[in-house]
Amino acid sequence: MENEAKLTAGAITTFGIAVAALVVLPYIQVRDIQPPEGLKPYTSAELRGREIYVANGCLYCHTQQPRDRSFAPDFDRGWGRVTTPGDYYYDKPHLLGSMRTGPDLMNIGVRQPSMDWHLGHLYQPRAYVPDSTMPSYPYMFEVKDQAEDDEIIVKLPPKFVPSGKVVVARPEAVDLVKYLRSLDRSYPILPPDPQNAGKKDR
């Protein structure tokens, strides 16, 4: 009996320490974070695009967390500065990702602002990067004889256009690209507080 009580107390204590370290402390650290001045809230089209990003599993291959220059050459790869908690203010839930089969996308809107490029790349990544392992997303597009007036024709390299047809983007492809283009965390973040700079414990 005594052992059972000890076991239970031990389990509860371990669980309590884990919750404090992994839930309570991080919550206290980030609860008062404000959005940086340069960060705009997502528009409704961008938010729809974000849902399409999640639904299609883009985050299984792409992170949204460039690392600090002392850890990795992410900045030199053109992926942008290290992110801070405020950069994710409007991301609920955040899409940090944990696997980089493809490049980090936190600043893809800066690196590649072209709607045409993104649409073409989603339709057929190999049209732009011959040995790309990224899947194509043909169901976000329609192959037709002729486009309607209000439809966006995807400007692909000629040999990737089915002959005699046009490829038009469905609204989900356009929303997804609007979301990708909104990924821009290139505004400056505040420098460290000068009063504390140089203190030993920093």
Place of tokens 């290139």: 186
- Residue 180, interface with ligand HEC (CB under 6 A)? yes
Closer by beta carbon to ligand HEC, 39 or else 61: 61
Tell me whether residue 86 or residue 184 sits nearer to ligand HEC (CB atom): 184
DSSP conformation class of 143: E
Minimal distance, residue 41 CB to ligand HEC, in Å: 20
Is 13 a residue that touches ligand HEC (CB under 6 A)?
no
Spatial distance between the Cα atoms of 81 and 187, rounded to a whole number of angstroms: 10
Count of positions (residues) in the chain = 202
**Cβ-count burial 37-47 (b if 16+ within 10 Å, e if not):** eeeeeeeebbe
Say whether residue 133 binds ligand HEC (CB under 6 A).
Answer: yes
- The site that binds ligand HEC (CB under 6 A) totals a number of residues, namely 23
As measured in angstroms, the least distance from the Cβ of 118 to ligand HEC is 6
Window 99-118: contact mask with ligand HEC (x via CB under 6 A): --xxx-x--x--xx------
C-alpha to C-alpha distance for 65 and 82, rounded to whole angstroms: 7
The least CB distance from residue 163 to ligand HEC, in Å, is: 24
Q: Locate 173 and state its tokens.
A: 């492809």
- Shorter beta-carbon distance to ligand HEC: residue 82 or 95: 95
Q: Tell me which residue has tokens 């507080």.
A: 193
CB atoms within 10 A of CB 127: 19
Q: Is the dihedral of CA 108, 110, 113, 117 positive or negative?
A: negative
Binding site for ligand HEC (CB under 6 A): 53, 56-58, 60-62, 101-103, 105, 108, 111-112, 125, 129, 132-135, 137, 176, 180
